[in-house]
Amino acid sequence: KVPGFVSGCITGRSFGDYVLLGGQSNYSLVIHGDSPSTSRIYDGIVFDQVPVIVSDGWKEMAMPFSDALPWDSMAVFVSQWEFERSPVDAMRSAVAKASEPSRLQAWRRARGALDWSLEGTCVATAVLLDAAREHIGSAGLPELLSWPDCAGELSRKGKLRRAEWQGTLNETLLEDMLMEERFD
């Protein structure tokens, strides 16, 4: 059994519980941690959850392929000030935005550029385009989602399979994807 240490947090639950709960959730709350990045965004990608991000400037600093994907239409960004002022109202508004059909559609369309574990993923194309943008500039490079191998929406079978986890899913693979080892 994997202990209750998942993504840097003591959950008091088993790894299987974490996988089941993640597979059943539609949204992931991503709060700025002790660095500009957090593994919570990647947990949400694996679980096919629309990210609700509470952090200022996170999109520019830490979003995967921030120059190549339409993050404003895929995720919901909540300013830290807005969240601190009224957390309940901020989250109510964020969940309403995350539930918009156009946002869900944009998220599902781009998921293949983010989740390397899906069949038909285009993560390799995304990495190469990101490197090209970094080193030669973005002039003349097409949008990531217009590339033929990134243009289609992937099946949601992966999420349903995870939600029905009974201990037969490759636990080592999930552990590698979801566990963040911070202590040596």
| Three-class DSSP labels, 119-134 | CCCCHHHHHHHHHHHH
What is the pTM (predicted TM-score) of this model?
Answer: 0.65
Task: Note whether 68 and 133 are within 8 A (CB).
Answer: yes
- Tens-digit pLDDT profile for residues 141-184: 666 666 655 655 554 444 433 333 334 334 444 454 444 433 33
Exposure class string for 130-168: b at 16+ Cβ within 10 A, else e:
beebeeeeeeeeeebbebeebeeebeeebbeebbebeee
**How far from 50 is each of 10, 34, 46, 67, 133, CA to CA, in Å?**
23, 22, 11, 19, 26
Higher pLDDT, 102 or 138: 102
Q: What is the pLDDT of residue 120?
A: 67
Q: What is the pLDDT of residue 166?
A: 38
Asked whether residue 16 is domain-assigned, the answer is yes
Residue 12 pLDDT class (50, 70, 90 cuts): low
**How far from 98 is each of 6, 27, 67, 78, 95, CA to CA, in Å?**
25, 7, 21, 11, 5
Task: Note whether 48 and 105 are within 8 A (CB).
Answer: no
Q: What is the pLDDT of residue 90?
A: 93
How many C-alpha atoms does 37 have within 13 Å on its Cβ side?
9
pLDDT at 79 over 50: yes
Please provide residue 106's backbone torsions phi and psi, each rounded to the nearest 5 degrees.
-65, -40
* Total structural domains within the chain: 1
Higher pLDDT, 62 or 9: 62
Q: Are strands 50-54 and 5-6 parallel, antiparallel or unpaired?
A: unpaired
Task: Note whether 119 and 156 are within 8 A (CB).
Answer: no
Residue 93 pLDDT class (50, 70, 90 cuts): very high
Domain that holds residue 40: 5-178
Mean pLDDT of 38-50: 80
Asked whether residue 184 is domain-assigned, the answer is no
Task: Note whether 179 and 172 are within 8 A (CB).
Answer: no
- What is the chain's mean pLDDT, rounded? 70
